[in-house]
Amino acid sequence: MQSPLLFSTLKLGDFDLSHRIVMAPLTRMRAARPGNVPHALNALYYTQRASEGGLLIAEASQIMPQGQGMPATPGIHSDEQEAGWKLVCDGVHARGARIFLQLWHVGRISHHSHQPDGGPPWAPSAIAAEGSAMTANFEREPFAVPRAMSLADIEALKEAYVCAGKRALAAGFDGVEIHSANGYLLEQFMHERSNKREDRYGGSLVNRIRLPLEVAESLAQALTPSKVGIRLSPFGIANDSGDPDPEPLYRTLIQALNRLGLAYLHLIEPRASGAGQREVDHQDVPSACAMFRKDWDRVLITAGNFTAQSAALTVEAGHADAIAFGRYFIANPDLPARIRRGQTFTPYHRPTFYGGGTEGYTDYPAYGFAGS
């Protein structure tokens, strides 16, 4: 039996959650192609992981065709995608759970094979990231030099976020999460290593956090603040990201976001940076949730290599209000029930994380069934 506080109610935006174990947004690359459309298999996957009064955050979904950076990732910019996501939301709601959709633009972490015009992807500045992109054929090629966005591009981007947010609610989502972490476009604007602009979106700290703030404000106005969350990775190094002095940058951003009245702040702990690509557990690193707790008035969710015990301790200490699990939620569709009962976790199988069909996706059993 785990901490009673981990299984106490929590008000998040307009909703009352019955426990504080959240399913983190997880890229799985199983949307139907062409069109990057969610379908019945995706609906089954999410429905399996829905629990009464729980919160799921659906995987990062590109807000516009230019925002895609990996094959078979779902979008939220077409009628077909909206209809596909409705299947997901209907299944999750039938189980009594809530679901938010993570809104995504990968920026320079893309490949020309994903771009509608076959050209370079968008970025704050024409600076290539270190590392390799995943092509439309699941192959790897070095990142190319991106195209620096014009002010008109930036305005189009903000409009695309609002349109995607409205589509998400029309599909049945309870809210949206802005992906401003892990080295993707909004975070690229925040970091000096990827942003060398000389206009109002570059240079000073205030200028570099302007775009994520404007996106958050636009979505809050369009959807109401209670239907908007945001995800940040203050000490992240994924996708050639990172800031030499992240604390003042993120503290200023979080304090500004706090004034918007958003539903929640979702932090990625530094010990988990890069965990999507390999097994990591960075030691002797700061706690993001403990560091920024005082700067945030509403629900704070944190994620990063948590166990049932460390999740309970973090909530009991008041550093976070809820804990998001990723990889363990993949392999344990009934994860909240397992934690509540003190049951063992099924190990995940990393080779089946990205792409494919049912294997490693919808074939993990609940506790007590064959194979668990």
Q: pLDDT digits over 218-249, tens only?
A: 999 999 999 999 999 999 999 999 998 899 99
- Sequential DSSP letters for 255-310: HHHHTTT-SEEEEE-GGGTTTTTS-----S---HHHHHGGG--SEEEEESS--HHH
Contact of 18 with 54, CB cutoff 8 Å: yes
CA angle 302, 299, 222 (to 5 degrees): 110
Comparing CA positions, the residue from 36, 113, 27 lying closest to residue 79 is: 36
CA–CA dist 107, 192 (Å, integer): 15
- Strand locations in the chain, DSSP E? 10-12, 15-17, 21-23, 55-62, 98-104, 122-123, 132-134, 140-142, 147-148, 175-180, 228-232, 264-268, 299-303, 322-325
Residue 284's pLDDT is 62
Contact of 105 with 69, CB cutoff 8 Å: no
Q: How far is CA 325 from CA 90, 109, 159, in A?
A: 22, 24, 31
Q: Over the chain, what is the mean pLDDT?
A: 94
Segment 39-57, tens digit of pLDDT: 999 999 999 999 999 999 9
- Per-residue pLDDT 10s for the chain (372 aa) are 457 899 999 999 999 999 999 999 999 999 999 999 999 999 999 999 999 999 999 999 999 999 999 999 999 999 999 999 999 999 999 999 999 999 999 999 999 999 999 999 999 999 999 999 999 999 999 999 999 999 999 999 999 999 999 999 999 999 999 999 999 999 999 999 999 999 999 999 999 999 999 999 999 999 999 999 999 999 999 999 999 889 999 999 999 999 999 999 999 998 654 434 444 455 566 899 999 999 999 999 999 999 999 999 999 999 999 999 999 999 999 999 999 999 999 999 999 999 999 999 999 999 976 443
Contact of 100 with 176, CB cutoff 8 Å: yes
Question: Tokens 């009991």 — which residue?
Answer: 316
**Helices first, then strands: H and E counts in the chain:** 11, 14
Task: Provide the 3-class DSSP secondary structure of residue 177.
Answer: strand
Residue 209's pLDDT is 98
Q: Of how many residues is the chain composed?
A: 372
Structure tokens at 66: 């230019």
- Exactly one of 46, 184, 328, 364 is catalytic; name it: 184
- What secondary structure letter does DSSP report for 58? E
Question: Tokens 């349109």 — which residue?
Answer: 163
CA–CA dist 321, 311 (Å, integer): 10
CA–CA dist 159, 108 (Å, integer): 19
Segment 299-338, tens digit of pLDDT: 999 999 999 999 999 999 999 999 999 999 999 999 999 9
CA angle 31, 371, 366 (to 5 degrees): 65
Residue 15, sorted as left (phi over 0), alpha (psi -120 to 50) or beta, turns out to be beta
Comparing CA positions, the residue from 13, 158, 140 lying closest to residue 69 is: 140
Catalytic: 45? no
CA angle 342, 344, 345 (to 5 degrees): 120
Residue 281's pLDDT is 52
